[in-house]
Structure 1
């Protein structure tokens, strides 16, 4: 029912002595200059040159239609996607780390296509390998029937991304979970040779250090390196560590129109405007773009969580947003024209944790991009966020007395 092809480890173990004696690096490397991804008769054909053979699996997913190739493990760090995919489908390809020991390539499909053939051949002399995957166009019904993440015990039993160990909290300690957006196979927006994932990790680490220096804070990052973390996992990390507040960092890019300055978002079933709705939709698609199968998600449960978050925790999150914007305005002196907004961001759905998402700026704005790459400017933004959190803690403690908590 599910079209999945896996390379057995025995293929590598049974290779000739000349291969066994070769010293392999921990990661295979993709040679983009000798690889091609092209459409033939409307369907994709992949021919990938690897520095060595690796276990892999290949399958398709729906909504949107995409091909997923998982490797253990291929280094894509130096690969330019424009060397592999050209023309109008250039943005259909992405790759990167997806979990410990595994990397992933995701290719958006312009039409329903299934795997017709997949195979890997290892050169007996050099140890290099070629992975070929041929797709063929099919009807929607056949595509749906043959698509889905394969049930693979070896994959399912792999060590998950570590959840940072929970702190032994005292009554005076505040646990803050900082969430650098994107990472790994999902780099986010880009500009001037840097990605949103890179910039937000640096900023989150700088905010962490500022909070730790002030004392009385435990600070946890949802990721400490360039790796993919699903939206659901980010919320799980916050809840598992008893977070008192959750702050997610992003710096989006607009395909059209102009925008600059920071804005802070809270959770709402109805977006404050069309731009916020579109922004939330792009953020919520991060898992899909990274090849994660969300077919098992329960929309009814998600709706209940949304309602709980709005009723029980919404006012606290909005107060946190106001505090952070006040801090940013004080230190940086400029924010987005409507700095406090709301939309249905999946990463803000923890019903019992005040949660906000900060769009620190827009990488589509040359001014915002240059500021985000400037350590002096970032230090002002960090101070503004730090002061905003501190101010919120004071007002929230006073409000807690009124709430009887």
Structure 2
């Protein structure tokens, strides 16, 4: 079962065809391919959309409900006979309280929790299909899992005319940070005894998300909030569709040879800064081969030129972010690797338009690092250092941008 606040945002493939809608356009429901029906003692929903959008799923009590929030969806195409599930007593759609979000509320006659919440995107048309599978749970388990994301109202907002596409924007001034807990699902990452890297970094990312949100200055999107496999290119496109100001991929690897200990921050480079960085990049990118995704193909010449031009601006900002994170961790007295700054060709850092870093919070192969990763007090200290560093970087980055505009 997934935990209560399941925020899964699976989004557009990196390069949509010309006919596909842009990121700002409102998605529409495709009636012919959308349905909600019974599945054993539970239910399964298929929601077909004209384009992929970020989405999140959470559960609520009093009565039992499962809520699906999606970024800008028009419900006009939802078929009248959509709800064919006896386990679902009502389907309500409308706007969420947060500007730019749409909401579907499934009212249940018994406690059911999400077991699968996933999106697939057609690489040719850009159309998307969300699958939500609900399975029986005890009332106690449902109550323990229930809860809306921080700052999210539980109901539907009053119905109003949809805003024009040009009016859909983030106006509250908060920094949008995408946290990417590495690995997941068929790819557990590093394993040491009963501990899996995918689980450890997910716990760390959830805690960091809440620490960032508590500042009131940051909104956080996570590439995964459950033990699921998310392909590396999808993690990048999530960040782009969410309007990310920065992207942090979080890992806690193990090394087979030599000794490695302490935090390390990596940026993108065509050539690795050292042999260890190259080995880590190869290890991370191999994860996609588990799902049959071959990343060996090269982009065409025009795409390469455009991305290189975008990175002229983004690469220095990413380097500044990495340096600020290292300095912040050091100030907090948290152990750093002997060479805390590295560079390698990590696929997950290849968003040309978003400052991106990969953060190794420690190495599971080191006894001391593993103990730290399992220690809530150490994690809180590291997270505090990261929060302060991210805010410092945002302030300095804004100042640099202002100077460039003059």
Give the TM-score range, shorter chain. 0.5 to 0.7
Counterpart check, 1:233 vs 2:199? no
Q: 5 Å matches for 1:205-220?
A: 205-220=206-221
**1:264 match: secondary structure:** strand
Q: Contact 1:267–1:309 (CA<8 Å) still a contact in 2?
A: no
Partner of 2:205: 204
Partner of 1:392: 393
Relative to 1, partners in 2 of residues 1:25 and 1:101: Cα closer, same or farther, differing over 3 Å? farther
* d(CA) in 1 for partners of 2:263, 2:287: 21
* d(CA) in 2 for partners of 1:304, 1:222: 28
Relative to 1, partners in 2 of residues 1:157 and 1:289: Cα closer, same or farther, differing over 3 Å? same
Q: Contact 2:119–2:131 (CA<8 Å) still a contact in 1?
A: no
**1:340 match: secondary structure:** strand
Q: Which structure dedicates a bigger proportion of its chain to helix?
A: 1
Partner of 1:186: 187
Relative to 1, partners in 2 of residues 1:302 and 1:287: Cα closer, same or farther, differing over 3 Å? farther
Counterpart check, 1:159 vs 2:130? yes
Partner of 2:12: none
Q: Contact 1:267–1:310 (CA<8 Å) still a contact in 2?
A: no
TM-score, normalising length: structure 1: 0.58
* d(CA) in 2 for partners of 1:373, 1:309: 39
Q: 5 Å matches for 1:140-155?
A: none
Q: 5 Å matches for 1:4-403?
A: 100=118, 159=130, 168-170=169-171, 172-294=173-295, 298=299, 303-304=304-305, 307-308=308-309, 310-403=311-404
Cα deviation for residue 328 of structure 1 reads 1.0
Aligned residues: 261
Cα deviation for residue 234 of structure 1 reads 0.3
**2:170 match: secondary structure:** coil
* d(CA) in 2 for partners of 1:297, 1:98: 33
Cα deviation for residue 160 of structure 1 reads 6.9
Q: Contact 1:267–1:345 (CA<8 Å) still a contact in 2?
A: yes
Q: Contact 1:98–1:184 (CA<8 Å) still a contact in 2?
A: no
* d(CA) in 2 for partners of 1:246, 1:356: 6
* d(CA) in 1 for partners of 2:186, 2:42: 19
1:339-365 Cα deviation digits (max 9, x unpaired): 111111111111111111101111111
Which of the pair has more CA radius of gyration?
Answer: 1
Partner of 1:11: none
Cα deviation for residue 396 of structure 1 reads 0.9
**RMSD of the TM alignment (CA)?**
3.2
Cα deviation for residue 184 of structure 1 reads 0.7
Relative to 1, partners in 2 of residues 1:295 and 1:314: Cα closer, same or farther, differing over 3 Å? closer
Relative to 1, partners in 2 of residues 1:333 and 1:168: Cα closer, same or farther, differing over 3 Å? same
* d(CA) in 1 for partners of 2:131, 2:301: 26
TM-score, normalising length: structure 2: 0.58
Q: Contact 1:309–1:350 (CA<8 Å) still a contact in 2?
A: no
Cα deviation for residue 302 of structure 1 reads 7.2
* d(CA) in 2 for partners of 1:236, 1:157: 14
Cα deviation for residue 196 of structure 1 reads 0.7
Relative to 1, partners in 2 of residues 1:157 and 1:398: Cα closer, same or farther, differing over 3 Å? closer
Q: Contact 1:328–1:335 (CA<8 Å) still a contact in 2?
A: yes
Cα deviation for residue 291 of structure 1 reads 3.0
